[in-house]
Homo-oligomer: A and B are copies of this chain.
Amino acid sequence: MNHIVEVKATDVRFPTSRDLDGSDAMNPEPDYSATYVTIRTSDGDVGYGLAFTVGRGNDVTVAAVRALAPLALGLDLEEVLADLGGFSRRLTGDSQLRWLGPEKGAIHMAAAAVVNAVWDLYGRREGKPVWQLLSDMTPEQLVDLVDFRYLQDALTRDEALEILRRAEPGRAARRRHLLEHGYPAYTTTPGWLGYTDEKLVRLSQDAVAEGFTQIKLKVGAVLEDDLRRLRLAREAVGPDVRIAVDANQAWGVPQAIEWMRGLKPFDPYWIEEPTSPDDILGHAAIRRAVAPVKVATGEHCHNQVMFKQLLQAGAIDILQLDASRVAGVTENVAILLLAAKFGVPVCPHAGGVGLCEMVQHLSMFDFIAVSGSTEDRVIEYVDHLHEHFTAPVRLRDGNYLAPAAPGIGAELYPASAADHRYPDGPVWREGTDV
């Protein structure tokens, strides 16, 4: 029998705060980090997954993976792969560990890293990237992944099946389209709050030249700065490129509404994370007030029950799922189905460490087998840290090209993981980048 014999968690941190990459209104100095998980079986199968954090606290998610590990160790791989929904529920439903959530925070992010590692392993075994693995599953296999316990009032198993069956006939054609054209991206690279005006303008122009039709700017710290930066960006990209803005939770509800009134002359496309990610009713109020500017959130939305309510309350125009905030691929299948049910486009959160590599699989699967559309859908792109991954994302003319490498794309080069291991890797021991 082929058992899971190792679930290893490594604390990997990149010293991004040294250059203010990734700086925003709530995260002035992030050190982009990964709770990096390796799963091995007795027959030598291997899978890699990760949870993204921004530095301090990565040791806590590492501890959470170690707390979850005994739930996976010793399991028969065939049984795990035959019931990945059951495996996820085993991790998120442990009667003692779920007290730390339930289904939120460090323990849920740790579950994401483990679940994604198992999907990665599954893809490698089948010789398929995860987008293809998912797209080759039957509607019945896909709904079996979903835990409907808390979703029934918004999405039943039968409704989910119906969504997937409706998309089935077009799967092959959309797969060909994907392989040929890729999937639309937008870029956050120009807009970090710590960048100078000059860098903002230059990177905005570069983005348009590279084929992007949407960029994103961080806002929310100082209104005058936002007005100046947004004006500069608008002048740099012209009227036809969408400019999204992102407040990273900086505001209360009335403040968000007032601030967005100020930014309106520069035609922002969406306002992302205007307030607390937990504030469903707050997002709904903001959305009513700032229309036609769209409201987007999701990178801190901690589980499918919260996404369900954001949709039920009409609180969002754009759903920004994250690869490792909810419990990985399995829970994200449920979230894609919820979004399809409510007709809300999914534009995943990415950047960080390995998020671009992972979320592209979800959007591509969504296009082929769930929503069947890329209309108003874009995957975030940030040009950070891809060089550390064995299968980095590839972009062409502002589109993500469908990855061909088997798995989910979270594997770091062994040297990158070792160099950036915290606190004892050379990058951290010496206090300088290598």
Contact = CB atoms under 8 A, between A and B. Distances in A.
| Residue among A102, A106, A149, A303 with most chain B CB within 10 A | A106
Contact of A107 (B31, B57, B255): B57
Interface residues of A, number: 64
A81 interface: no
Interface in A85-110: 94-109
Interface in A241-295: 249, 251-255, 275-282, 285
Contacts of A67: 56-57, 59-60
Given A153-B252, A252-B150, A302-B104, A96 B57 contact: yes
Would you call the interface of chain A mostly helix, strand, loop, or mixed?
loop
A434 to B, nearest CB: 22
A386 interface: no
A361 interface: no
Given A105-B100, A252-B152, A279-B309, A60 B60 contact: yes
| Residue among A153, A255, A300 with most chain B CB within 10 A | A153
Given A95-B26, A95-B28, A278-B306, A253 B59 contact: no
Interface in A45-78: 53-57, 59-61, 63-64, 66-67
Nearest to A61: B100
A223 interface: no
Contacts of A389: none
A357 interface: no
A308 B61 CA distance: 28
Given A100-B60, A100-B61, A278-B305, A95 B150 contact: no
Nearest to A313: B281
A31 B275 CA distance: 37
A404 B105 CA distance: 37
A249 to B, nearest CB: 7
A277 B275 CA distance: 21
A103 to B, nearest CB: 8
Given A54-B99, A61-B100, A280-B309, A252 B107 contact: no
Nearest to A299: B99
Nearest to A257: B153
B281 A95 contact: no
A344 interface: no
Contacts of A98: 26
A322 B306 CA distance: 21
A243 B66 CA distance: 41
Interface of A: 26-31, 53-57, 59-61, 63-64, 66-67, 94-109, 148-153, 249, 251-255, 275-282, 285, 300, 302-303, 305-306, 308-309, 312-313
22 contacts: A26-B98, A30-B95, A53-B96, A53-B100, A54-B95, A57-B100, A59-B66, A60-B64, A63-B63, A101-B105, A102-B249, A104-B104, A105-B105, A106-B107, A150-B252, A150-B282, A152-B253, A153-B285, A276-B305, A278-B303, A280-B280, A281-B309
Given A30-B96, A60-B63, A100-B105, 8 more contacts: A29-B95, A56-B94, A57-B97, A104-B104, A105-B105, A105-B107, A149-B251, A150-B275
